[in-house]
Chain A
Amino acid sequence: MLRFIAIRLAQAIPVLFVVATLTFFMLKLAPGGPFSAEKSTTPEIQKQLEAHYGLNKPLFSQYLTYLGNVVKGDLGPSFKYPNRTVNELIGQAFPVSAELGFWSLLVALSLGLSAGIVASLRPNTLTDYIPSGLAMVGICLPIFVLGPLLVLVFALKLEWVRVSGWDDWIDRILPALTLGGFYAAYIARLTRGGMLEILSQDFIRTARAKGASPARVVLRHSLRGGLIPVVSYLGPTVAGLLTGSFVVETIFQIPGLGRYFVTAAFNRDYTMVVGTVLFYAGFIIVFNLLVDLVLVRMNPKLSYE
């Protein structure tokens, strides 16, 4: 297992390298620069600023310097927030996004799994149609429609919660429902499919022939196999929660990493953009590795190869 982890992490290095390189040159190729937007700066000040951040050096040497710093774990200074480093900014914004992601994942898993399991127990009856129909609605209601709608109903009309903010637990509810809702719907569909597949297998009949109760048949004999598609989907889910958080953090004014990233991209804050992309890529790689480790544990036919 350790070997497996080591190999996977070693494979991640070239990937991160490609990501860094691609993003770096994409930014440099793009028209405009971090300081051209501000009209108040005179050409002289602009030159000074560029010299300060090393932007007047040849492109390739800038690239090498940057890579060298990244290897040391230094993502550089932010161009837009003077005196702040990218490491600091990520360190400050990511915990907010992570908390949002955690609650959303919790919503997605708890709603999705229970709806999917209920739907699978009596296929093509009312207890299947209702959760399956809701799941379809969830899949067809994008985050940026669901979010404003929830705000409209629960914050503006009913005034149960605040429109935006991120102070106490009540502020977590709408963002988590918004972000988790779509994935809850998708997970419900996956769970239903996986469970139906397993429940039609011969070994379920064996379990029933042993005298197992319906609860035991589901919990002990079906869940493990039936949830494999769901767990496989967790990798993409987390990647999706990350990008979904751009929208949700915008709608609800949450000071998370997604908002910083979009703002940084608009502002040509090079180091912040590359740093965030690298951070996301690394995060997703590690998470996918975790998912694969869980899958190996769930499915005895897989091994660490």
Chain B
Amino acid sequence: MSALLRVENLRTYFHTRSGIVRAVDDISFSVGEGETLGIVGESGSGKSVACYSLLRLIPQPPGRIESGEARFGDCDLLHCREEKLRAIRGNRISMIFQDPMSSLNPYLRIGEQVIEPLLIHKLASPNDAFDLGVAALREVGIQDAAKRMRSFPHEFSGGMRQRVMIAMALITKPELLLADEPTTALDVTVQAQILELIRRLQQEHGTAVIFVTHDIGVVSGFCDRVLVMYAGRVLESGPTAELFYEPKHPYNQALQRSIPALHERGAELHTIPGAPPDVTQPIRGCPFAPRCEFAEEKCITSEIALKEVTTGHATACLRVQLGEIDLTPAAVAGE
């Protein structure tokens, strides 16, 4: 699989009154054509900021992309000229957002918003665009699409609005879709429908997806590969199945233990003690060390880097890298 997008050493800081927030602190990853990459993390882990940084949609100031490169075709998304980036946004790379309630313009008709990418990027004449818009709405399962083109956002439910957002994002047949927690604000039943819709459309169009979520359960059924973020860094990355069955970082392991599982009714629910670190302070060593049951002196004093331990599976845990601990469920159970 050739890389569609390759991100190297991305750093995004926010220069606020109370100090520099290191929201994204040196992360690298890549996405292949048609691949689905999940980025998982708690709120504040920097996963959404990473996503917005790719299209330079973070508010600047206070946000600033401090370093890095995001190679997309022949273009570095982080440093290319504004016009060049604009030609990519909404055309070759589209985005859907967490809150469909506030992400659609309440003053404009649905139809106008859905076909806008086609008109901005001159991919269709206004007349053709209307028909394409109707087709796109139909494709995401909106009844009476031609009539609904004339509706306003407030006349739609949350799930329907997210469908509109998806139709709008995919109408230009982008190569990459950035999905920032697209199901978080929705009811559980609607969540499943939306996930299913994204997956179906992705397969039909061959679109690559970066799927940002805090819900590790969503990732499992949906993504090819997963990135686990914490305090602005990537702690572990690898193929989805491996990440679940052979965790290579104590944070990932703790995250999975904190999911309530149906088959373990009555079992104690694990929580991770402590709180994520203050990212306005520079962090030495492993950011998870203060909460980690395996942490040792060297975890705090040494420089930590993401390293591949098996093919395609990388961890930032020093002790796993050194082979001192084994976190696979079989090994844990055998202890």
Contact = CB atoms under 8 A, between A and B. Distances in A.
Given A203-B103, A300-B106, A300-B107, A211 B168 contact: no
Interface in B75-99: 86-91, 94-95, 97, 99
B120 A203 contact: no
B120 to A, nearest CB: 5
A140 to B, nearest CB: 30
B55 interface: yes
B46 to A, nearest CB: 18
A201 B107 CA distance: 12
A220 B108 CA distance: 9
B181 interface: no
Interface string B147-181: 00000101000000000010010000000000000
A255 B13 CA distance: 64
Given A216-B120, A300-B152, A301-B154, A209 B107 contact: no
B236 interface: no
A203 B104 CA distance: 5
A205 B86 contact: no
B57 A205 contact: yes
Contacts of A299: 107
Interface size class of B (residues with CB under 8 A): 20 to 34
Contacts of B104: 203, 206
Given A208-B89, A209-B95, A211-B86, A202 B152 contact: no
A47 interface: no
A88 to B, nearest CB: 46
Contact of B55 (A202, A209, A300): A209
Given A210-B168, A211-B86, A213-B86, A202 B103 contact: yes
Interface string B125-154: 000000000000000000000000000101
A201 B99 CA distance: 11
Given A211-B88, A211-B89, A211-B90, A206 B152 contact: no
Given A202-B97, A216-B120, A210 B90 contact: yes
A248 to B, nearest CB: 36
Contacts of A225: 105-107
A212 B108 CA distance: 15
B102 interface: yes
Contacts of A216: 120
Contact of A301 (B89, B90, B91, B106): B106
B106 A211 contact: no
A207 B99 CA distance: 14
Contacts of B89: 208-211
A203 B106 contact: yes
A221 B102 contact: no
B61 to A, nearest CB: 10
A212 B57 CA distance: 12
A201 B55 CA distance: 18
B116 interface: yes
Nearest to B89: A211
Task: Point out which of A220, A221, A300 has the most chain B C-beta atoms below 10 A from its C-beta.
Answer: A300
Nearest to A220: B108
A300 B95 CA distance: 25
Interface in B254-309: none
B117 interface: yes
B121 interface: yes
Nearest to B52: A205
A86 to B, nearest CB: 44
B154 A206 contact: no
Contact of B120 (A206, A212, A298, A301): A212
B26 to A, nearest CB: 25
Interface string B100-118: 0011111110000000110
Interface string B212-223: 000000000000
Interface of B: 55, 57, 86-91, 94-95, 97, 99, 102-108, 116-117, 120-121, 152, 154, 165, 168
| Closest 7 pairs between A and B when the two form their complex, measured CB to CB | A210-B90, A211-B90, A202-B102, A211-B89, A300-B152, A203-B105, A209-B95
